[in-house]
Amino acid sequence: MPVHKPQGIRIHARSPRVTVYADADAAARALARRVAGAIEANPRVVIGLPTGRTPLAFYRELVAQHARGADFAEVTTFNVDEFVGIPASHPGSYRSFMEEHLFRHVNVRPERRHFLNGTATDVDAECRRYEEEIAAAGGIDLQILGIGTNGHIGFNEPAPALAARTHRVTLTLETRRSNAALFGGDTANVPPEALSMGMATILHARAIVLLATGKAKAACVERVVNGPLTTGLPASFLQLHDDVNIMLDAPAAAKLRGSP
Ligand code: GLP
């Protein structure tokens, strides 16, 4: 097994391929390099994007890639989820998050940035619209994901059954707590519902990268890689996809066999 620190250490070679980096910044840099490479290979690449604390370093690195010449002019993006009931202009919305951390710094054209509208009056129509826009864009080439400590991806929460397509979801208390920072630190202010791509929307992406850092993610990462498929851990379904790369720092990899 080649061991080359800056490139990360591959500890699980089949999909999901697991690569462990020296630290969270190294993982973020590697992911930004991969995205810049995907744009170079196909300037019209369609990318699915996450929010959360984890991707902040990745977005910083992507902005740095843009400063080095990565051109996002033909890139199309789809954000994976959004809260229900708050306008796009609300500072806690995922749209605001993306404007602040990525879009105001790079040249993705506004008409190529796609978001779910959390204030749509007809939620079902809004979810259908999103699926249609993804299909019209030719599907997602590279879906980047974070993961909740309970194993959620997007806002597909652990439940007895999971939804295949973009849908409305009731958030768990754990998820609302971990999003509280966007709402002045008060869980009570976090909207109880969200819209999210479904499991099939995500799994139909041609390639998927899951970025997880920090020891709080170690237990669920271990179950995602080695555990059975279960709706109790939505990310476990990533095992069904043949091009998934899980990029970790050492603390998030701590419970995996062979981790550095
Ligand atoms: C939110 C998002 C998820 C994200 C998760 C992890 O709940 N809807 O898409 O993966 O947060 O957040 P963090 O990276 O802050 O742990």
Closest ligand 1 atom to residue 154 Cα is 9
Closest ligand 1 atom to residue 50 Cα is 9
What confidence tens digit (pLDDT) does each residue in 121-164 have? Answer: 999 999 999 999 999 999 999 999 999 999 999 999 999 999 99
Q: Is the CB of 76 under 6 A from ligand 1?
A: no
3-state secondary structure of 110: helix
Q: Six-digit token pair at 256?
A: 């995996």
Q: Is the CB of 82 under 6 A from ligand 1?
A: no
Q: Which pLDDT score is estimated for 195?
A: 98
pLDDT at 167 over 50: yes
107 CA distance to ligand 1 middle (Å) = 24
Task: Look up residue 240 and give its amino acid.
Answer: L
Q: Which CATH class, in words, describes the domain spanning 16-213+243-249?
A: alpha beta
Catalytic site positions: 81, 150, 152, 157
Tell the residue nearest (CA) to atom 10 of ligand 1: 146
Distance (Å, whole) CA 252 – CA 218 = 4
256 CA distance to ligand 1 middle (Å) = 21
121 CA distance to ligand 1 middle (Å) = 25
Q: Model-level pTM greater than 0.85?
A: yes
Q: What are phi and psi of 163, to 5 degrees?
A: -90, 140
Q: Which pLDDT score is estimated for 224?
A: 97
pLDDT at 3 over 60: no
Domain positions in the chain are 16-213+243-249
Q: Which pLDDT score is estimated for 13?
A: 67
What confidence tens digit (pLDDT) does each residue in 58-82 have? Answer: 999 999 999 999 999 999 999 999 9
* Widest pairwise Cα distance in the chain: 54
Q: Which of 76, 80, 83, 129 is nearest to 103 (CA)?
A: 76
What confidence tens digit (pLDDT) does each residue in 90-133 have? Answer: 999 999 999 999 999 999 999 999 999 999 999 999 999 999 99
What confidence tens digit (pLDDT) does each residue in 204-230 have? Answer: 999 999 999 999 999 999 999 999 999
Neighbours of 90 (CB within 10 A): 17
Q: Which pLDDT score is estimated for 190?
A: 96
% of the chain residues with pLDDT over 90: 91
